[in-house]
Amino acid sequence: MDYHWSIHQLTEYFEAVTSQDDEWVAIRGAVERAVEGLGAELGVMIRDDQVVACVGLGRAAPAVEAISPAIHGAAVIDVPPLGLLHSVAAWLDDDAREYLVISRIDNEFSGEERQLLQGMARVLGLALRSLRALQIERTLRTERELEAAERLRLLDTLGSRQRLLESMLTIQRAISHRAPSQTVLDAVTAGASQLLDGAFLALVIASPVDGQHRVVSASTPAWDGADYTALVIATAAQAVANDQLVTRTDDDGSATRYTALAAPVHIEGQAAGSLVTVASSDDANVDDWRATLTAFAEQASVALTDARTVEAMRDAYQDPLTGLPNRALFMDRLNHSLQVAARQGTQVTVLFIDLDRFKDVNDSLGHAAGDELLAWFSRRIRESVRGEDTAARLGGDEFAILLEHTVGDSAGRAVANRLSRALREPLRLADRELFVSASVGIAWSGDGAGTADELLRNADIAMYRAKRTGGGDALVYEPTMHTEAIDGLELGPDLYHAASRGELRLEFQPIIDLLNGAAVGVEALVRWEHATRGLIQPNVFIPLAERNGVITEIGEWVLRNGCTAAAAWRATSTPDLRVSINVSARQLDDPAFADLVATVLAETRLPASALTLEITESVLMRDPERAIDRIRPLKALGVRLAIDDFGTGFSSLAYLQRLPADELKIDKVFIDAIETSVEGSAIVRTVAELARTLNMQTVAEGIETRRQHEILRTLCCDLGQGYHFARPLKAEAVPGFFAAAQRPTRPAARARGNRDAHGPLPAPSATVA
């Protein structure tokens, strides 16, 4: 039998750490023994970003900046004079103020070692909590004689330590004597129950097959015969999901209310179940149990990592052909990694791998050869990843790799490169030499994917795209791929009917005069409320609509509805309001577009001067001569023209001069930069000056802060829009916004050369930030 050395170190550690009665000695001893137990050279305890204890640098202490990357998930840190060290960190308590960081020169830390350290840190946290309580008791004693009850509590504190130790020894003996797994599990719940004054204790494990939480061992029947299984299961599931201790009180209206306390239990580092206790809600002990339950859960975690238990769990989680984790386990780990990453501010990368031409091998050489190929391929994947990465077979010829603590897409690319190199060696299969290739899609959590399903789907999409290029390639996911992927599926047809089904609606973002804060107009923005998929972002469906031509219908719908709304507001409340409508390349290309605009203006009775058509710089500059031709009849109608996203295309000054445009809309990327760099504000100033020279107004997009507003005002930018003033508003909210914005914050004090070109200023209004 394979004994895990770490299982048995925690009890020793507990004994060593909790036998001290001085906090400093306990901390020093705890750090030393953690260093020794993990075969490390350096151990550091950090409290509130300060190094409070250090072993391994003599009497010097490291700079906290050198150590803190480990807390944030760095696997390697640089600590002079020792240099680069493999590191692992664990927090002592849930409030994450105190950390234990262990570093060593040789070998990165395994999952088992990380788990052991987490257990050690919890034990230390518990010991320090007891010591601090004891210290308070002692302080009280020096002031006055202890009351009998207090003395009893003191004794109880000491007694619980002994009981915890005895429980740990019982579990350890059960493991060392190869007791059946159930005996070990029962020892865990019995031990924990004994510690918590005989309270009901249940060990709940999430089934690897269906993810359902089930009680695998319970200490005693409920003390009052009540059935609170639902509460136990719900609390356990929550503890696993949050990967931290949770408290939950049932509130079903019955006379007795119960509080459940659940601490997550980890198997090989992953939250796999919970240790749950239940008490009557008015039981004063519940709060005191938190630290003990957490520490004991860590001990149980280490015990459950015992080889046989893991084996039993593994059967349900493992792909039998390749020995790799299966999809269920992969998704479980991915979910957990995303939660940890969110907490630690790190990222997670997923590689979706598909064997190229696997079907050909299967069909021509038979299933046995296919299986052999899959097993061979899984070994190449294993060789391409680090010990802590998760490689899984999702099914068929699909594999996936999970990389934790990554930044950007470089880690994913590196693994893909290693895999590609590993595949250069040919495979001898059924007396043939085969060269195997795979298509790889890479996606990382920083790229907009929020859930495990989204991340895997993104990687799948990128893989699909790589496959389309002929295979053997690795591609990093980009949102446009998503659009393309959906295009081929179901969104495309739906988009044709979006307008007729009433799924499109408009929102309006106010445009503000930056000088006096008055609202002068709105930009109409289209939204698609899909019947089954919910709100679909414009960056998803607009490119799709442009490709399949629906943009013409959508554009007409926007034009008609935008003008109708603006005309209504002008007639009822805001006579000077202007509306800006985006025009796509296809619309501009359509010779009938000017006629359409004229018709809509006539139908809606909106003055042409109240309509601004926004055309992106890149569309205009694709074929400037043609664009100028198309714009001319529009200008003849009297509508205004804005060059949208200015700065992202490559404008030729010569053409810019010839374009009969009225506004330059400066892209958000430049606005973002004005607060942080001199170059950023210089660019905006140059654009503003250019616009003034060409007799155009400037509109700054994406203003998010008051400071940006102020800077833009000093840079002589005319108009602006962005969250600083208002998010896009539903149509019904627009009159209210304009009504509230009636007076300017200050009178116009700056002469503008191009003011006359745009008609009178709107009525004075107040800035709404």
Partner 1 sequence: MSVSSGVLGITREEASKTRGAAATQRRWFGVGRSAHPDPRTAGAQATREALAGRSASLVTVFCPAEFDFDAMLDGVSAEAAGVPLIGCSGIAHLASGGPVEPCVVVSALGGEGFEVKTSVATNVSDGQRAAGERVAETVETLTSEHKLLLLLADGLAGEQHELVRGAYSVAGATVPLAGGCAADDFHWESTFQFYGDGDGVRVLRDAMVAAAIGSDAPIGVGVAHGWQKTGEPMVATKSAGGRVDELDGEPALDVFAGRIGVDRSVAADEQKFMELALKRPLGLSRRSGEDIRVIHAGNVESGSLQCVADVPQGALLWMMESDRDGLLRSVDDAYADAVAPLDGVPPLGLFAFDCGARYLFLGADGVADEVSRLVDKAGDVPFAGFYTMGEIARWRGAQGMHHLTLVLVAFA
CB closer to partner 1, 176 vs 745: 176
By CB under 8 A, is residue 459 in contact with partner 1? no
Which of residues 15, 23, 398, 484 is near partner 1 by CB under 8 A? 15
By CB under 8 A, is residue 306 in contact with partner 1? no
155 CB burial (10 A radius; 0-12, 13-18, 19+): exposed
By CB under 8 A, is residue 14 in contact with partner 1? yes
Rounded least distance, CB 177 to partner 1, Å: 8
Mark out the alpha helices in 243-366 (DSSP H runs).
286-304, 307-317, 327-344, 358-365
By CB under 8 A, is residue 2 in contact with partner 1? no
By CB under 8 A, is residue 22 in contact with partner 1? no
Task: Let me know: does 216 contact 243? Beta carbons within 8 Å.
Answer: no
Q: Which of residues 94-113 bind partner 1 (CB under 8 A)?
A: 104-106, 113
Q: Tell me, letter by letter, the H, E, C secondary structure of 31-92.
A: HHHHHHHCCCCEEEEEECCEEEEEECCCCCCCCHHHHHHHHCCCCEEEECCCEEEEEEEEEC
By CB under 8 A, is residue 748 in contact with partner 1? no
Residues 6+ apart with CB under 8 A from 387: 108, 110, 111
Q: Which of residues 42-101 bind partner 1 (CB under 8 A)?
A: 42-43, 55-60, 81-82
Stretch that binds partner 1, among 5-13, 458-466, 483-491, 562-570 (CB under 8 A): 5-13
By CB under 8 A, is residue 675 in contact with partner 1? no
CB closer to partner 1, 39 vs 211: 39
Distance CA 168, CA 15 (A): 10
Residue 285: name the closest of 126, 156, 120 by CA. Answer: 156
CB closer to partner 1, 32 vs 503: 32
Task: Let me know: does 593 contact 631? Beta carbons within 8 Å.
Answer: no
Largest CA distance in the chain: 98
Rounded least distance, CB 301 to partner 1, Å: 16
CB closer to partner 1, 25 vs 636: 25
Distances (CA, A) of 464 to 248, 326, 444, 469: 44, 21, 16, 9
Count the Cβ atoms, other than its own, within 10 Å of residue 238: 18
By CB under 8 A, is residue 631 in contact with partner 1? no
CB closer to partner 1, 4 vs 505: 4
Residues 6+ apart with CB under 8 A from 481: 458, 461, 462, 465, 475
Stretch that binds partner 1, among 36-44, 274-282, 635-643, 660-668 (CB under 8 A): 36-44
CB closer to partner 1, 35 vs 442: 35
Mark 109-148 with x for binding to partner 1 (rule: CB under 8 A) and - for no binding: ----x-----------------------------------
Rounded least distance, CB 20 to partner 1, Å: 13
Distance CA 476, CA 446 (A): 12
Rounded least distance, CB 79 to partner 1, Å: 10
Residue 125: name the closest of 223, 199, 27 by CA. Answer: 27
Rounded least distance, CB 116 to partner 1, Å: 9
Rounded least distance, CB 26 to partner 1, Å: 14
Distances (CA, A) of 715 to 229, 347, 718, 744: 66, 38, 9, 19
Mark 168-187 with x for binding to partner 1 (rule: CB under 8 A) and - for no binding: xx--xx--xx----------
By CB under 8 A, is residue 6 in contact with partner 1? yes
280 DSSP β-pair partners: 258
- The token pair that represents 412 in the structure block: 């994913």
474: helix, coil or strand?
strand
- Backbone angles phi and psi of 478, in degrees to 5: -130, 145
CB closer to partner 1, 8 vs 418: 8
CB closer to partner 1, 176 vs 417: 176
CB closer to partner 1, 32 vs 94: 32
Rounded least distance, CB 477 to partner 1, Å: 40
Rounded least distance, CB 41 to partner 1, Å: 4
CB closer to partner 1, 113 vs 645: 113
Rounded least distance, CB 82 to partner 1, Å: 6
Count the Cβ atoms, other than its own, within 10 Å of residue 32: 16
Distance CA 319, CA 460 (A): 20
Count the Cβ atoms, other than its own, within 10 Å of residue 94: 15
512: helix, coil or strand?
strand
Rounded least distance, CB 57 to partner 1, Å: 5
Mark out the alpha helices in 638-730 (DSSP H runs).
653-658, 668-673, 678-693, 706-714
CB closer to partner 1, 57 vs 621: 57
CB closer to partner 1, 79 vs 121: 79
CB closer to partner 1, 119 vs 510: 119
Stretch that binds partner 1, among 38-46, 197-205, 248-256, 400-408 (CB under 8 A): 38-46
Rounded least distance, CB 169 to partner 1, Å: 5
Residues 6+ apart with CB under 8 A from 173: none
Which of residues 20, 23, 36, 340 is near partner 1 by CB under 8 A? 36
Task: Let me know: does 505 contact 560? Beta carbons within 8 Å.
Answer: no
151 sits in which H/E element: helix 148-176
Which of residues 3, 24, 223, 723 is near partner 1 by CB under 8 A? 3
Rounded least distance, CB 89 to partner 1, Å: 18
116: helix, coil or strand?
helix
Residue 570: name the closest of 610, 609, 516, 519 by CA. Answer: 610
Rounded least distance, CB 669 to partner 1, Å: 48
Which of residues 66, 133, 165, 340 is near partner 1 by CB under 8 A? 165
Distance CA 630, CA 596 (A): 13
By CB under 8 A, is residue 268 in contact with partner 1? no
By CB under 8 A, is residue 21 in contact with partner 1? no
CB closer to partner 1, 60 vs 149: 60
Distance CA 77, CA 84 (A): 6
Q: How many residues sit close enough to partner 1 to count as binding (CB under 8 A)?
A: 41
CB closer to partner 1, 56 vs 744: 56
CB closer to partner 1, 126 vs 568: 126
By CB under 8 A, is residue 575 in contact with partner 1? no
Residues 6+ apart with CB under 8 A from 310: 267, 268, 304
Rounded least distance, CB 482 to partner 1, Å: 46
468 sits in which H/E element: helix 452-468
By CB under 8 A, is residue 387 in contact with partner 1? no
Distance CA 599, CA 596 (A): 5
Rounded least distance, CB 165 to partner 1, Å: 7
Distance CA 679, CA 131 (A): 57
Residue entry with tokens 């990128």 = 462
CB closer to partner 1, 35 vs 499: 35
- The token pair that represents 285 in the structure block: 């002990």
- The token pair that represents 589 in the structure block: 């290309």
CB closer to partner 1, 168 vs 204: 168
Stretch that binds partner 1, among 13-21, 205-213, 225-233, 674-682 (CB under 8 A): 13-21
Amino acid, res. 326: N
Binding site for partner 1 (CB under 8 A): 3, 5-9, 11-12, 14-16, 28, 32, 35-43, 55-60, 81-82, 104-106, 113, 165, 168-169, 172-173, 176-177
